[in-house]
């Protein structure tokens, strides 16, 4: 069951970061406080890195060879672990891109 964490949770963290950042724009403009946006992005990035670490740990446990065409348990574990690492890494990249955009573009441009 832990193999599904790197596949499902980092994309949900990226979507949650995007939604929360949109909700925080009014607060950010009103109070000129940008810390909540950075905290949300940092938490989402930590979740994505946790997904990478979990997927990598399972991949090393199952053997670092690429998954074969066999339908055995080890091949399925390797496949899910590799997919989890790549999905989590892609989401970490997306979260970092959103964070950079929030850091450099002020929300209150009129």
pLDDT in tens, 36-53: 899 999 999 999 999 999
Q: Does the pLDDT at position 12 exceed 70?
A: yes
Nearest 5 degrees, angle CA 61-CA 56-CA 54? 95
Comparison of pLDDT for 3 and 92, the residue scoring more: 92
Q: Does the pLDDT at position 2 exceed 70?
A: yes
User: What is the share, in percent, of the chain residues with pLDDT greater than 70?
Assistant: 94
| pLDDT grade for 56, boundaries at 50, 70 and 90 | very high
Please report the pLDDT score of residue 20 as a whole number: 94
| Burial classification of residue 81, based on how many CB atoms lie within 10 Å of its CB (0-12 exposed, 13-18 middle, 19 or more buried) | buried
Q: Where are the domains of the chain?
A: 2-104
Distance, C-alpha 47 to centroid of its chain: 6
Please report the pLDDT score of residue 102 as a whole number: 84
Comparison of pLDDT for 34 and 55, the residue scoring more: 55
């Amino acid at each position: 069951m832990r193999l599904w964490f790197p596949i499902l949770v980092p994309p949900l963290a990226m979507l949650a970061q995007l939604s929360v950042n949109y909700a925080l724009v009014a607060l950010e403009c009103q109070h000129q406080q940008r810390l909540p946006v950075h905290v949300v992005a940092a938490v989402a990035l930590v979740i994505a890195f946790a997904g990478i670490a979990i997927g990598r740990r399972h991949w090393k446990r199952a053997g670092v060879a690429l998954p074969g065409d066999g339908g055995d348990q080890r091949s399925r574990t390797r496949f899910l672990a590799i997919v989890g690492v790549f999905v989590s890494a892609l989401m970490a990249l997306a979260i970092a891109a959103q964070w950079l955009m929030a850091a450099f573009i002020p929300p209150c441009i009129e």
